[in-house]
Amino acid sequence: MKQPIIIDTDPGIDDAAAISIALNHPAFDLRMITTVNGNVGIEKTTANALKLKQFFTSNVPIHKGASQPLLSNIVDASTVHGESGMNGYNFPEPNYDDLTSMHAVEAMYKELKINENPVTLIPIGPLTNIALLISTYPEVKDYIKEVVLMGGSAGRGNVTPSAEFNIFCDPEAAQIVFNSGLPLTMVGLDVARSSTLSHKTVNELQVLNQTGDMLHHLFKHYKGDDFENGINVYDVYTVLYLLHPEKFDVQEADVQIETNGTLTKGATVTDFKSLFPNCSVVMSIEPSVFKDIFIDALKYCK
């Protein structure tokens, strides 16, 4: 049976790869894409989601979400993803008739309530929409199977030495989600760093199919950390973990969010020794295994 999922996203070059798989893989029933302020502003992340919807001629609903964090000031990652948030590939202009008028939080609430099977939420941007959803409608937690999120790090950060970007953008939202009691899997920086995609593999994508060509062009403009050694397509690990959980090293931990530290705001303080873990932390995968399952998943795309 297909897994009903919702992707909450701030596209975002690595988001584009995750969305490509979520939209096309037969194991998934993508119920909607919701957008959030993150890599770039909400208008651009929403435009980018529309561009991907059009690229795949998909009928998936797109709902625009939060334009700013709960409390923190807006930061962006346009130096990493480009001014548009998805520099490198010449998408046609988005068709805004494809954008629904319902806010992302309302849309997720309505979808979760009517879905006969619990839905997996896959946030791959800041957690603002998810925190708003479970704070506004706490009863909806009964309809969420699990949350598999890209965010955090058991080790060093990427946007600061302590913090990963998605958590840093909205640490208060992350604190709400990590303490919600929902079944939670943290897909942090660690697993991507264990299996960085080589530039050779990025070049091979170009001849895989149209999606591979599109991602190749985007990845060539993706100025993520360690770019000289390859690229870390962080968001992709969420959907690949859902497809092949057995191929990943996962450890249980209690993860708490630093919201006040001058130097440590947004840190995911990860205690593997806790007797009361609140989430599973995806730590690593063999690089060759990652490459294989990534390419295999992209073969379902056009």
Per-residue contact flags (x/-) with ligand RIB for residues 100 to 119, judged by CB under 6 A: --------------------
How far apart CA 191 and CA 185 sit, in angstroms, is 12
**Residue-by-residue DSSP string for 164-189:** -HHHHH-HHHHHHHHTS---EEEE-H
| Under rule CB under 6 A, residue 39 binds ligand RIB | yes
C-alpha closest to that of 103 among 16, 30, 32: 32
Identify each DSSP E strand in the chain by its residue range.
Answer: 3-9, 28-35, 62-64, 119-123, 144-150, 184-187, 249-257, 268-271, 279-284
Backbone φ, ψ for residue 230 (5° rounding): 140, -165
Contact set for Ca ion, span 170-209 (CB under 5 A): none
| Under rule CB under 6 A, residue 242 binds ligand RIB | no
| Under rule CB under 6 A, residue 190 binds ligand RIB | no
How far apart CA 296 and CA 275 sit, in angstroms, is 38
C-alpha closest to that of 254 among 179, 163, 149: 179
- As measured in angstroms, the least distance from the Cβ of 115 to ligand RIB is 25
Among 14, 111, 190, 258, binds ligand RIB (CB under 6 A): 14
| Under rule CB under 5 A, residue 125 binds Ca ion | yes
Contact set for Ca ion, span 201-260 (CB under 5 A): 235
| Under rule CB under 6 A, residue 12 binds ligand RIB | yes
* Helix, coil or strand: residue 66: coil
Contact set for ligand RIB, span 64-103 (CB under 6 A): 77
| Under rule CB under 6 A, residue 290 binds ligand RIB | no
| Under rule CB under 5 A, residue 124 binds Ca ion | yes
Among 4, 7, 13, 15, binds Ca ion (CB under 5 A): 15
- As measured in angstroms, the least distance from the Cβ of 117 to Ca ion is 26
12 or 65: CB nearest ligand RIB? 12
Instruction: Return the exposure string of 48-64: e unless at least 16 CB atoms fall within 10 Å of the residue's CB, then b.
Output: bbbbbbebbebebbbbb
- The residues binding ligand RIB (CB under 6 A) are 10, 12, 14-15, 38-39, 77, 124-125, 150, 158, 164-166, 234-235
- The residues binding Ca ion (CB under 5 A) are 10, 12, 15, 124-125, 235
